[in-house]
Amino acid sequence: MKIFQRLVPWILLAIALFILPAALDDFRLNLFGRYFSLAITALAIDLIWGYTGLLSLGQGIFFALGGYAVAMYLMLNTKSLAGGNGIPKFFENYGVDQLPFFWQPFWSPVFTLIALWVIPAVVAGLVGWLIFRNRIKGVYFSIITQAALMVFFHFFNGQQKLFDGTNGLKTSTSELFGQLVGSPDMQVWFYRLTVVLLPLAFLVCRYFTSGRFGDALIAIRDDESRLRFAGFNPVPFKTIVFLVAGALCGISGALYTVQSGIVSPQYMSISFSIEMVIWVAVGGRGTLVGPIIGATLVNYLRSLVSEALPEAWLFVQGALFIFVVVLMPDGIYGWITKGGFRTFLAAFGIAQKAKTYPQIDKEAVPVD
């Protein structure tokens, strides 16, 4: 079973790299590119929730910040989107004739590539440090992160003169390397870039969840008070892991933006951040592979249901979440790796039921 667990990520990567581009048309391939970009956010949530026990309901903040960073660069460097004074046309609609100072650095591609993950990381680190230094945890942590999400949502939603408000920033008609971002060739390139960055994000999460640092995260999740009693300060651990998760969400948001063609305040909506948590719960938190499966499966199912019955998805999503929580508390991947699939086959006489062994009370065993 351990060999199976080690091979699963690489099998999935091989399928994504070689089979899907050959088997799917441009539209479906673009959808899977979005799913894989969202899987990076699922990995980030698993890092802070599955391993550290921090249920954040505000990861949409960092996801959107990464998206806005890349969208600002694309709008500034596309001549067809510029008005008479060389700045994006939407500024003229609100009487703005001079580019805001914080837009200026996004003329640079190097700055943008750094900013799309550094800005979310800095914001996440600052928010996390302010929360963790006051020993806020549990449900109060979740409430505060959701409150922060609402603050960012209303700020971006109301800033028409700075970010075009509810309309958001459109990138599908922007240009990159002399081609439209929304063109099929560019979308295939973004898909392949996403498939490359996803396993790198997986390895980053694996690095932080292994060794002594990973042991500290699990100790924080299981019994933070005992960790403090042992002489460890959990604040730096939680701040670092929250910062890393914010950076991953920023990269995810940037990849999703260039493949969906728009970034808007809706990325910071409460419902979207809750959906991110559902992906992890469905796939299996604390596994890293599970969130990738959950994000891809849930979003693919959403596309199928929405195409057939557009109004039925919320009911299907709720039913799926309840089904997994009640019958598969360890998620789909956890259910499979713990013998659930074999038990299912055994019910139909296809395989033998997984053996379970009783726990031995070592204190009750006489020792010579």
- Beta strand 179-180 pairing with 262-263: unpaired
Average pLDDT for residues 137-164, to the nearest whole number? Answer: 92
Strand-pair category, 169-170 with 262-263: antiparallel
Give residue 357's pLDDT. Answer: 45
Strand partners, 262: 170
d(CA 69, CA 254): 7
| DSSP assignments along 111-136, one per residue | HHHHHHHHHHHHHHHHHHHHHHTTT-
> Considering only CA atoms, which of 275, 328, 241, 293 is closest in space to residue 49?
241
Q: Can you tell me the mean pLDDT for 222-237? A: 91
Q: How far apart are CA 304 and CA 35, in angstroms?
A: 13
pLDDT one-digit tens code per residue, 230-278:
888 999 999 999 999 999 999 999 999 999 989 999 999 999 999 999 9
Residue 82 pairs with which residues in a beta bridge? 88
Give the pLDDT band (50/70/90) at residue 368.
Answer: very low
Q: In whole angstroms, what is the distance from residue 160 CA to residue 176 CA?
A: 25
Nearest to 75 by CA among 156, 158, 164: 164
Q: Whole-angstrom Cα distance, residue 53 to residue 50?
A: 6
What integer is the mean pLDDT of 199-228? 92
Decide: 82 and 152 in contact? Cβ < 8 Å.
Answer: no
Q: What is the pTM of this model?
A: 0.89
Q: How many other CB atoms sit within 10 Å of the CB of residue 85?
A: 11
Range of lowest pLDDT (25-34, 286-295, 357-366): 357-366
pLDDT band at 325 (very low <50, low <70, confident <90, very high): confident
d(CA 26, CA 351): 40
Find the mean pLDDT for residues 294-310: 90
The span from the CA of 194 to the CA of 33, in Å, is 7
> Which of 168, 145, 179, 135 has its CA nearest to residue 60?
145
Contact 239, 131 (CB under 8 A): no
Of the candidates 5, 7, 9, 8, the one whose C-alpha atom is nearest the C-alpha of residue 198 is 9
Instruction: State the pLDDT at residue 243.
Output: 96
Which residue pairs from 108-111 have beta carbons closer than 8 angstroms and sit at least 24 positions apart in sequence?
Answer: 108/73, 109/73, 109/77
- pLDDT number for residue 306: 86
Alpha-carbon gap, residue 76 to 44, rounded angstroms? 30
For 121-145, what is each residue's pLDDT tens digit? 999 999 999 999 999 988 999 999 9
Q: SS3 for 175?
A: strand
Is the pLDDT at 172 greater than 60? The verdict is yes
Higher-pLDDT residue of 54, 358: 54
H-run or E-run covering 262? strand 262-263
Q: How far is the CA of 318 from the CAs of 324, 326, 348, in angstroms?
A: 10, 12, 29
Name the residue with tokens 């460890």.
232
